[in-house]
Amino acid sequence: MKKQILKLVSILGLVFTALTIHAENITYSLEKQSFNANWQFAIIDNDQAAKPSFNDAKWRTISLPHDWAIEGPFSKKYSARNGGLPVFGTAWYRKRFVVPKQAEGKRVTVTFDGVMANSEVYVNGQLAGKRPFGYIGFAYDITDLLVAVGSENVIAVKTAPENYASRWYPGSGIYRNTWIELDNQTHIAQWETQISTPNISTSSAKVIAKTQINSFANAGKYDVSFDILDADERLVTAVEQTITTQIGNKNSVEAKLTIDQPIRWDVDNPYRYKVITTLRKDGNVIDTDIQPLGVRSIEYKADDGFWLNGRRVQIQGVCLHHDNGPLGAVVNERAIERKLEIMQAMGVNSVRTAHNPPSPELVELADKMGILLQIEAFDTWKKPKHTVVNGYHKYYDEWSEQDLTDTVRIHRNNPSVIMWSIGNEIYEQKKNDGWKYAKRLTSIVKAADPTRLVTAGLSDYPAFVKSKIADEIDIVGLNYKATEYGDIIKRYKGKPILGTETSSVVSTRGEYHFPVKPLEKHPSKYVSSYDNYAPYWAYIPDVEWYNLDKNPAVMGEYIWTGFDYLGEPTPYGGRDHGNKFYWNQDWPARSSSFGAVDLAGFPKDRFFMYQSRWTKKPMVHVLPHWNWPNKVGESIPVVAYSNAEEVELFVNGVSQGKKVMGVDTVRIPVALRYKKNIKHFDSPYRLQWLVNYQPGDIKVVAYNQGKVVAEKQVFTAGMATQVKLTADRHAITADGKDLSFITVDVLDAKGNLVPNADNLIHFSIEGPGKIIAVGNGDSATTEPFVADYRRAFNGKALVVVQSKKGKVGQITVTGYSKQLNVLPVQIESKQ
């Protein structure tokens, strides 16, 4: 967690003043401060840009985080596997800053939460360090590279992401936040504070706090205190000790504290304490560090799954890539928060950070929102995956220990983190000595954090049995092995089992293809939302649920995926792990269809299917839409998802009969990789009626014990007449970062969504805000994300508005679309 100025000095009896200095409108202090403003940027391959004298006057001025690839353009010359965007090349970022005389004698550190990729950081022309892995945070002490205090310094960052380095869209550039920190010569080391709670009961929680004090000068006696504050920032308990530091040594400190009547961190009550570490010399505050503390117990039972605070909690999880759809890889706290809010509405309680370390913002939000995290480190070890010739395997020998250690150190104090994954579908599964790799990586994790278990996403069965990889990890993580759960449980008695990646069914929001049958490809380049098709390695959600019900020892599942993501447009363009570098034969298909939610954040029908499984509030959902002018009189399957006992379908007011969840089944053709003799699955998890289409409406009514608990109605829409703009938040913060996501609906005169509308809409904005992205969830279009126009896709589009820093007032967003009335929306930008 970022260090910050201690606010509660009166509570702790502390009085200190942080040294602040000013340069280029940024305030620096003895605490960590944003370093995001006023960078110069150019896509250029010229190592002279590292020199302070280099002329960058004509470069763009930008604020970080920044992803240059999302600006496009989409092009067939780039692989659709990576989103059809320019995710490789060389670019430079340069920034001028002054460290004034008041900071003389301090240590200066710059921190990057992530740079994509192969970064080189230069300060005044001298190399501060290199880091090839684009997903990891790193920090450099640049004190000895600075010119005299009061003079201008130049920091230059080279980024050189390579082609064929990823199986999805990775983004490009300094896409996460940057920080600068001034420290005294003796200070608390970054990422070295570790908090654990080895013993928890109703009456008390034992807390162990460890930290490291670095001394570059001024060694001697120092006081170190650990103060625990509750969520209302009241002092709960404290302890202090005196240490004697040695110059150049890493001075370790450990303290034990007790919290009486602790409040547990839980998915339903994400309560956090704070642990404040304070370093003093002769009564003066030298440094502070603040870390989160969630008091919670976690257990992993081989026979009864995952337990949180003494009760079984089924993992209802999703895999999420790091991109934020139309925003690209750029880290934005509100964009991530919105993504997690949508997932929680589906019933999600856990996220797997597939397949690399997440941003600090995602982990912090998971803490606050009560979402369990499986943090994954690598998609590749030493052995490369097909066509990913510039993947992490190139750096494994030199960097894997540090990258994995840093992943754990950065996030180990966050209570949301419940396990670490050391790899996903790594090819060492098929190597006889694969166990050696797993043993090494597991030991690295345990050295940094002995409090959590280690897993990996294993896919090659029974190959991983022979290579003994699963013997060396704590939790046997299984990708697409639902039909083999029973056998694997018998093989690994005593080990917890988890579905680390499941289902992988594909669908496109608002698309319905007839006849209703599994179909690998369709002329539209979209996939039907009847949710009946999965690639050869996968299966429909119903198969997973059936096998989880049969094998309750399994901890739960992480579906692939919660959201659509850029790249991997399966089943179009290529084959997972296949031998084609460019997945462009079905261009412009360039984004995945795996998500329960599309790229713009709009739920697909499958969202409601999972909601029916994962939530308790009564709900019912019906599909398809009811605009089929060419199918009058033809039979159309109508499907309902519900968590109620019974559902009744009405067509134009006439009942089509009730059906009982779990009793009335739907037969779905399947092709199971490990059970080839099974050709169909009779699903108890959905209901279906065959009705002859007539325009009008369909309505589903859900019942519990004969009483109506939920209903949903879909009307045949008329011609499009209007565009409705709806903001997810009508008030945003004027910090230059906050966002409002505006849903764009094309409606008929009665206010019904026109389900096949594709009207082009031009957007305009007035007031202290700007349009930073547009989208619509279309996985096969080359329309840009950075624009002020967008076609509706199946009736919907998205506009993302960002505040302007320091500018308050009303923001009005409206638009123009031929022959349609656009209804504007207002947003207030506030301090």
CA 439 – CA 470 distance, rounded (Å): 10
Catalytic residue among 376, 428, 501, 783: 501
pLDDT of residue 30: 54
Name the burial class of residue 650, with classes exposed (0-12), middle (13-18) and buried (19+) by CB atoms within 10 angstroms of its CB. middle
> Residue 616 is encoded by which pair of tokens?
């308790």
- Give the burial class of 281: count Cβ atoms within 10 A of its Cβ; 0-12 exposed, 13-18 middle, 19 or more buried: middle
Domain assignment present for residue 822? The answer is yes
Report which of 136, 151, 143, 137 is spatially closest to residue 109, judged by C-alpha positions.
Answer: 143
* C-alpha torsion sign, points 576, 578, 584, 585: negative
What DSSP state is assigned to residue 587? T
Shared-domain flag, residues 308 and 442: yes
What residue type is 92 in one-letter code?
Answer: W
Residue 780 three-state SS: coil
Q: Indicate if 377 and 309 belong to the same structural domain.
A: yes
Cβ atoms of 518 and 538 within 8 Å: the answer is no
Domain presence at residue 22: no
Residues 193, 341, single domain; the answer is no
Two structure tokens written together for 558: 């992480």
Is position 240 annotated as part of the catalytic site? no
Segments of 611-719 assigned E as strands:
620-623, 635-642, 646-651, 654-660, 666-669, 680-683, 687-692, 697-704, 707-715
- Please tell me whether residues 566 and 641 are part of one structural domain: no
Count of domains observed in the chain: 5
Neighbour count for residue 4 (Cβ, 10 Å): 15
pLDDT along the chain (831 residues), means of 10: 34 29 38 93 98 97 98 97 98 94 89 98 98 98 93 97 97 98 95 97 98 94 97 97 91 97 98 97 95 98 97 98 98 98 98 98 98 98 96 98 98 98 97 97 98 98 97 98 98 97 98 94 96 96 98 98 97 86 96 98 98 98 98 97 98 98 97 95 98 98 98 98 97 98 98 98 98 98 98 98 97 97 96 92
C-alpha–C-alpha distance, residues 324 and 796, integer Å: 18
Q: State the Cα torsion 782-783-787-793 to the nearest 10°.
A: -140
Among 614, 649, 670, the domain boundary falls at 614
The amino acid at 527: V
User: End of a domain among 652, 686, 715?
Assistant: 715
* Closest by Cα among 582, 581, 612, 584 to 596: 612
Q: Are the C-beta atoms of 591 and 328 separated by less than 8 Å?
A: no
CATH number at residue 446: 3.20.20.80
- Which among 184, 253, 197 has a CA at the least distance from the CA of 225? 253
- Asked, for residue 3, whether it belongs to a domain, the answer is no
Q: Is 425 a catalytic residue?
A: yes
Residue 25 lies in a domain: no
- Catalytic annotation, pick one of 31, 181, 376, 425: 425
SS3 string, 114-144, reads: CCECCEEEEECCEEEEEECCCCCCEEEECHH
Quick check: 299 and 306 in contact, CB under 8 A? Answer: yes
Claim to verify: residue 418 and residue 555 sit in the same structural domain = yes
Cα 129 to Cα 114, 124, 138, 142, 157, distances in angstroms:
14, 13, 10, 10, 10
Query: What's the pLDDT at 10?
Result: 28
Same domain, 268 and 327: no
Question: Do residue 124 and residue 59 come from a single domain?
Answer: yes
Whichever domain contains 149, its CATH number is: 2.60.120.260
Assess if residue 6 is contained within a domain: no
- Quick check: is 551 in a domain? yes
Task: Give yes or no: residues 472 and 597 share one domain.
Answer: yes
Q: Report the C-alpha gap between 734 and 721 in whole angstroms.
A: 34
The answer to whether 118 and 129 are in contact (CB under 8 A) is no
CB 223 within 8 A of CB 280: yes
Beta strands in 21-137 (DSSP E): 21-23, 26-28, 33-34, 39-42, 60-62, 91-98, 107-112, 119-123, 126-131
CA 551 to chain centroid, in Å, comes to: 29
* Residue 39 covered by a domain: yes
Domain of residue 797: give its range.
720-830
Q: Contact at 8 Å (CB) between 745 and 798? A: no
Q: Answer with the one of 245, 277, 293 that is the final residue of a domain.
A: 293
- Whether residues 85 and 230 share a domain: the answer is no
Residues 607 and 626 in one domain: no
Nearest to 599 by CA among 342, 333, 315, 331: 342
Instruction: For residue 772, give the DSSP letter.
Output: E
What gap in Å lies between CA 811 and CA 826, rounded to an integer? 6
Phi-psi region of 380 (alpha: psi -120 to 50; beta: other; left: phi over 0): beta
Q: Is 113 helix (H, G, I), strand (E, B) or coil?
A: coil
Q: Is 687 found in the same domain as 803?
A: no
CA separation for the pair 379, 355 (Å, rounded):
5
Q: Which amino acid is at 435?
A: W
Q: Are 294 and 265 in contact (CB under 8 A)?
A: yes
Q: Are residues 658 and 563 part of one domain?
A: no
- 4 found inside a domain: no
CATH number of 820's domain: 2.60.40.10
